[in-house]
Amino acid sequence: MAHEKLKVMELFAGVGGFRLGLEKANPQLFDTVWANQWEPSRKAQDAFECYSRNFHTGIHSNEDIATVSDDLFREISPDLIVGGFPCQDYSVARTLSGEKGIQGKKGVLFWEIKRALENGNPRYVLLENVDRLLKSPSSQRGRDFAVMLGTFRDLGYSVEWRVINAAEYGFAQRRRRVFIFAYKNDIVYENDIRELEQHDIVFKHGFFAESFPVKEDPYKDRMDSVTLPEDIVEISDSFSYTFHTAGIMRDGEVFTAHVDPIQKKPTPLSDILIEEELVDDKFYLTPEEEEKFRYLRGPKRIERVSASGHKYNFSEGGMSPTDELDKPGRTMLTSEGSINRSTHIVEVNGRKRLLTPIECERLNGFPDNWTFGMTDRMRYFCMGNALVVGLIETMGKRIEEIEKLEQRTVQLELTF
């Protein structure tokens, strides 16, 4: 039986990593009908132009998400909302009148996701963020993530999450990100796993456990459960908690554990390098640049003076002068390609050089020249912001399994 397409809405789309991964998983199932990408306070909208150049269907929106109307979300009525959004301050307060419920800080993009969910009412939500989201803010650890979980709970969703290091599942970059999969409480998948113990969902049978397996022996002292306060303002004001690298929340009941991945052999850096004769001379380091990188990557202890006049020692350990070609790359940052301690340096045939933009695309699993047309600096920046496409492809296949179950059940109900 042919399955109906899933209407996908992509928020904070960047250069389209979510869409690319989902289309690799199954282009017949995932239909991105609307995608929004807008870089505030920038004249050049490089990421949006890249997205529009590479994808030719659906509506591509280049506007402040806060100006998109509730009606549009209702009209599109997506089945799946995806997006990588910034880690911000998710604190909330009661409105002045008290009757209109709560309000979040202005400009916080998670509240735009909430608005899309309230009006679009999707079955599934797949989000990505930096792993520090689970611990922020430092003054009230775990509050921001708890506010998110409380928001999903209030909108009728259950949530599974997992911090995934792409290299541990066979990819070429040691990139750690938290992925959040939320789903409506009335779908078949939710009804099925409701029968399972929370422990078994996190370690064996849940959304992430099936696709990214972990060892069954938990870290005994890093496993916990808690009930979220019913009032989200109370969560914001006083709730603090240690969320581990994996977990599930349903009906406000949280189970979380530190999981140990069953690792696959990672892709080494050498596998993503282009042929050396194709590398432009501008990517090779000059003697002066080599000297700067030697200093930046070396150990150092520097006396500094704080704004208040207090003297202190800043120190950092040394790192290898070049990145090892038989290991996966380190996490790529938006500063990749600049003279910066975090920039990758490879040595090939006795010559040291930067990674090229194409190699950075490969590090994230994008096709060669995906970002062609913008400056090298912006190509590095976009890849530093991107996600590892192969992870989304794997998650897309898992959503496909869940959706097949959903559609099969609907067909059976119609038959009877």
Strand locations in 111-207 (E): 124-130, 157-165, 176-184
Q: Are strands 253-257 and 30-36 parallel, antiparallel or unpaired?
A: unpaired
What whole-number distance in Å separates Cα of residue 126 and Cα of residue 128?
7
156: left (phi over 0), alpha (psi -120 to 50) or beta: left
List Cα–Cα distances, 2 to 27, 29, 61, 248, 404, in angstroms.
Answer: 13, 10, 30, 32, 10
From CA 138, how far away is CA 35, in angstroms rounded? 33
**What tokens appear for 109 in the block?**
């993009």
d(CA 342, CA 174): 13
**What are the strands, taking DSSP E only, across 251-342?**
253-257, 300-305, 311-316
Within 8 A by CB and 6+ apart from 96, the residues are none
Closest CA to 162 of 252, 241, 259, 85: 259
Structure-token pair, residue 83: 């997006």
Could you say which of 50, 87, 360, 382 is catalytic? 87
Instruction: Check if 87 is active-site.
Output: yes
Q: In this structure, are residues 354 and 335 in contact, taking their beta carbons and an 8 Å threshold? A: no
> For residue 84, what are the β-bridge partners?
128
The b/e string for 112-127 (b: 16+ C-beta within 10 A; e otherwise) is bbbbbbebbbbbbbbb
Strands 253-257, 300-305: pairing is unpaired
User: Could you tell me how far CA 237 lies from the centroid of its own chain?
Assistant: 26
9 in Cβ contact with 75 (< 8 Å): no
11, β-bridge pairs: 83
DSSP secondary-structure letter at 281? G
Please check whether residue 395 is in contact with residue 181, taking contact to mean a CB–CB distance below 8 angstroms. yes
* Catalytic residue annotation: 87
